[in-house]
Amino acid sequence: MNDLTTENNLPSYKINYSSLKVVRKFLRHRFSLLNTYKAWYTILIIILFFYFGGFGFIQNALFDLSLNNEFFAKYSFANSTISLIQFISYLFCLTLPAILLVYYLFNQENELILKPDIVILRYFAGIKQLTCPRNLLTAVKFKRKNNLKDDGEILLEFSNKKTVKIQLQYFFDDQSKRFFLAYLQNTPQLNKIDSSLIELLSQPDNQSYTQLWLEALSNEVNISNITNNLSCGYSLYNNQYTILSQIAVGGYSIAYLAYDNITKKNCVLKEYVLSNSVHLEIQKKVLQDIEKEYKILKNLNNPKIVKVLAMFVENSRAYLVLENITGNSLRQLISDNKKFSQLEVIDLAKQMIEILSFLHNLNTPIIHNDFTPENLILDSANILHLIDFNISNYADTFTTSLIAGKPSYTSAEQVKGYLIAQNDIYAMGASLYFLLTHQDPEPLAQSSPKSINPLINKTFDEVIQKCTNQDLQFRYKNVLEIMDDLDKI
């Protein structure tokens, strides 16, 4: 099928590309799936009939006619016509197999090889080859054949006046189409790709639903998926991602560190199990939630918030591909016994405020709802990053009846189902308490780090107390107020 071989550490893609496959597909479809063999059998019979019988009969009839019929005997041109017909029929019968054989052979080894620096189209059993350097590729055009089907001709135009023509239907699966598109998109000087082609080749975001449902419908689910975790070295999405290790496990998902073979960088795969339930309605709902997280993240553009790169569904699991942030979560750092000085914590608090004010001040404000030390990563430059938008929501939507969260960081209002900015402020206060005292704060209670550690600055302690005040009236209403108070320390 497709090969992701690497020569000199650069990937090259070999896509099998054959018109005979199309014929086979056509045949397999014209006759129902199980009947492929019967179809071939029938074709064989029919060919044999015509080869041995039919033309023979026609020839005979004509021969008899020419012999026995006075009409034909009179006119010699009629005779020669008959001979001509006979001749043609012989020719046809004899050359037909030859033609088929040639066609078959010459369609075998067609390949489209996409190397980092050149494009090679091999046809006629590898005898003929069309080679063009990749850096001369100027435009990619697409001529649709049929309005309703995904069929057409792709034209790759090079600046050396050569054009490579590829039939879309010869890419017989989605995998090849994706590789091809990735190859085109990673060609730096190429900026003219027909948009309808991009649509046809890529898997648009909203297709993951469809994909999942269709997969479930055709019962392709592997029963052996009962045991879960992906092991190191496992490949996903047609070898695009290779799992390196498992980094974390959360409420509904598992996070893995993975290597992206196309962009050659590390990334984080967040895996959600889509239970292969009896009903697709159920999977739909779960998938909707994941797509919501994807959409929320996709629209956020902030260096301190993790970026989502892609989303895909495979084997009844949904994956969000996130950028990898090198660093440790605050919880990890504390459990590794890192001690933060008060000044450092104040600096972290200011960064937290920056992140939260960004989220809360968007056109549609986003409440994170899980602003805890596990979800805050500190990188080597001491910049804080926020990850995990799983239970975040656009403000004003009421949540479901089940709660799952970390009690120390969940405000009472959040438990009651309200989605307000003060949920995040409460969680932030609790996180700061955690950083200062190395302990999770008491749930549903106002936290004062100074009561554990008298050395804490009084103003700072008051800030944290105000963040975690159980009464909404007395808690900060927005993060910028906290910033003002922090500046006074």
Partner 1 sequence: MDEFKLPIKYTTKTNQFILSLIFLLMPFWAVILPFTIGLSLNQIFQVPIIFILFFLVLLFIFLALVFEDNKIIMTRHWLSFPLFLLPRLKFKREFAYQEILKADIVSDLPNKEQIILFFNNNLNITMDLKFFKNIQEIEQFLLTIEICAKNCERSSNLIEYQNKILITELMDNTLSYTKLWDEELNYRFCPTNFQPLTVGARLRNDQFIVLKQIAFGGFSAVYLVTNLNKQEVILKEMVIYNFLTPEQIIKVNELFKREASILAKLNHPKIAKILDFFVENERHYIVLEKIWGENLRLKIKETGCLDENLIIQIAHKLALILDYIHGLNPPVIHRDISPDNIILQNNQDVFLIDFGSANEIISSATRTMIGKKAFISPEQFKGKANKASDLYSLGSTLFYLATAQEPEALTQQELIKFKPNCSVFLNKLIKDLTNLDYNKRPLLSAVLSEIDSVINDLA
Site for partner 1 in 430-449 (CB under 8 A): 440, 442-444
Q: List phi, psi (to 5°) of 209.
A: -55, -60
97 touching partner 1, by CB under 8 A: no
Using CB under 8 A, which of the segments 14-22, 40-48, 155-163, 378-386 binds partner 1? 40-48
Are 226 and 365 in contact, with CB atoms under 8 Å apart?
no
Tokens describing residue 488: 């006074």
Taking the chain, what is the end-to-end CA distance rounded to the nearest angstrom? 65
Q: Please report, as residue ranges, which positions from 149 to 188 form the binding site for partner 1 (by CB under 8 A).
A: 149-150, 172-175
Q: List phi, psi (to 5°) of 154.
A: -100, 130
Using CB under 8 A, which of the segments 36-44, 68-76, 87-95, 112-120 binds partner 1? 36-44
Of the candidate residues 213, 259, 340, 358, the single one contacting partner 1 (CB under 8 A) = 213
Are 340 and 234 in contact, with CB atoms under 8 Å apart?
no
Of the candidate residues 6, 10, 40, 46, the single one contacting partner 1 (CB under 8 A) = 46
Bridge partner residues of 201 (DSSP): none
Bridge partner residues of 394 (DSSP): 366
Q: Please report, as residue ranges, which positions from 316 to 345 form the binding site for partner 1 (by CB under 8 A).
A: 316
Using CB under 8 A, which of the segments 219-227, 256-264, 421-429, 458-466 binds partner 1? 219-227
In the bound complex, what is the minimum distance in angstroms from residue 362's beta carbon to partner 1? Answer: 25
Of the candidate residues 220, 335, 382, 397, the single one contacting partner 1 (CB under 8 A) = 220
By beta-carbon proximity to partner 1, the closer residue of 58 and 113 is: 58
In the bound complex, what is the minimum distance in angstroms from residue 415's beta carbon to partner 1? Answer: 5
In the bound complex, what is the minimum distance in angstroms from residue 92's beta carbon to partner 1? Answer: 16
Q: How far apart are CA 129 and CA 131, in angstroms?
A: 6
By beta-carbon proximity to partner 1, the closer residue of 139 and 248 is: 248
**Size of interface with partner 1, in residues (CB under 8 A):** 78
Q: Please report, as residue ranges, which positions from 292 to 311 form the binding site for partner 1 (by CB under 8 A).
A: none
127 touching partner 1, by CB under 8 A: no
Q: What angle is formed at CA 292 by the lines to CA 290 and CA 297, rounded to 5 degrees?
A: 100
CA 194 vs CA 52, 141, 143, 149: distances in Å: 51, 5, 9, 17
Of the candidate residues 8, 33, 191, 303, the single one contacting partner 1 (CB under 8 A) = 33
Are 372 and 440 in contact, with CB atoms under 8 Å apart?
no
Q: How far apart are CA 320 and CA 287, in angstroms?
A: 11
Residue 305: DSSP 8-state: B
Number of CB atoms found within 10 A of residue 339's CB: 9
